[in-house]
Chain A
Amino acid sequence: MSANTSETNLAAMFAPLTAVGPEALERLHVALEGAADREGILDVAYRTIDTPVGTLLLAATGEGLVRVAYDSENHDIVLEVLAATLSPRILHAPRRLDAVAREIDEYFARGRTGFDVPLDFSLSTGFRRSVLEHLPQIAYGHTQSYADVARTVGSPKAARAVGSACATNPLPVVIPCHRVVRGDGTHGGYVGGLAAKTTLLDLEAAAA
């Protein structure tokens, strides 16, 4: 008997124990999500959601929604950065994001003009954070210029810094940085790309 045949026979012998179906692992994963959450070690839960602006990654800590990421940001990299900055105890665990996902669906169906899920701002600090905390006050269907926002947050000369706060918004769509546009009325840049910004502004204009 050649060594090769012998290995093949061994593989056949152990096949009943080594065969692991995807549905078995799926079931175990779901159980792990629940157990980790109950034990308080699910530091970051995430899921994805399909929207008119592409697939969005949603991630939440126990505090609240901490990150919304566009496809163009590369979800794998976003998760690696979350692992490095928040905690590596990250699981695909849709349950925690149920309410957020429902509200985002409603928003894109024009059935919702604001979000009331808990938010975790821990990825932003200082000036950027105060800009982000102001943005929900720009009403649905309306826009403000970068200079307007700078004035509102008390730093009239900081239009450029407002721009970078918007560009690094960890919670796009939910924190409406898409409602901040250039002084001349053109849309300006956007973390999800210009097409996504236009889609959001058109959606709100049509519904408002």
Chain B
Amino acid sequence: MVVEMKQPFEKVVTEHGATVLRVCRAIVGPTDADDAWSETFLAAMRAYPELPADANVEAWLVTIAYRKAIDLVRARRRRATPVDEVPEKVSSEVGRPSESDVWMHVKDLPDKQRQVIAYHYLAGLRYADIADILGGTSDAARRAASDGIATLRRRLTHAQSEGDTR
């Protein structure tokens, strides 16, 4: 008899906690990532008993993470009061982009590109899995990623041009 064994949720948290945090960072940035992470795992834990035992847990989690992160971005936007002065961008050490530097550029990418980059480069998902999550083909996902990466490279290089030794 095949017994469908579902792992204790603790296992899910320890195995995928870091991946989910990376996805959250890519969507909402380092500061709000913790809130998005918490929302993600609470929602996942609530729904976990109904998840089929053979489901791809990681793909399921990053999908929830993306949704929760987007919700958070929208909620922040609604609550945000316009500020007169744009805070001075604190530039990091020459040649070493900081967390917020990279985030600054990632957040400006088109949604699809940012999502694919979050899933592939930060969460480590394969393009085939990403295509399953987003719809479309894995080639399309790959193209979106490489377009996004090209843009990121250009902007990062530009931003730190004076520090680059090349």
Contact = CB atoms under 8 A, between A and B. Distances in A.
A24 B34 CA distance: 9
Interface stretch (B19-27, B59-67, B74-82): B19-27
A17 B45 contact: no
Contact of A88 (B9, B17, B149, B156): B9
B88 interface: no
Contact of A91 (B10, B34, B38, B149): B10
Interface residues on B, range: 35 or more
A10 B149 contact: yes
A86 B20 CA distance: 27
Contact of B7 (A10, A16, A46, A88): A88
Contacts of A10: 121, 149
Give the interface centre of A35, A44, A80, A89 by most chain B CB atoms within 10 Å.
A89
B8 A83 contact: yes
Contacts of B8: 44, 79-80, 82-83, 88, 90
Given A25-B17, A39-B42, A89-B49, A17 B9 contact: no
Contact of B9 (A16, A25, A27, A90): A90
B7 A84 contact: no
- Is the contact region of chain A dominated by helix, strand, or loop, or is it mixed? helix
A83 to B, nearest CB: 5
Contacts of A44: 8
Contacts of A27: 34
A32 B13 contact: yes
Interface string A39-62: 101001010000000000000000
26 contacts: A10-B149, A13-B97, A13-B156, A16-B99, A16-B101, A18-B22, A18-B122, A20-B17, A25-B17, A28-B34, A29-B13, A32-B13, A35-B42, A39-B46, A41-B42, A41-B45, A79-B8, A79-B10, A82-B8, A83-B8, A83-B9, A84-B5, A88-B6, A88-B8, A88-B48, A90-B10
Interface of B: 3, 5-10, 13, 17-18, 21-22, 25-26, 30, 34, 37-38, 41-42, 45-46, 48-49, 97-99, 101-103, 106, 121-122, 149, 152-153, 156
* In the A-B complex, the 8 residue pairs with the closest CB atoms: A90-B8, A16-B99, A20-B18, A83-B8, A88-B6, A79-B8, A17-B25, A25-B17
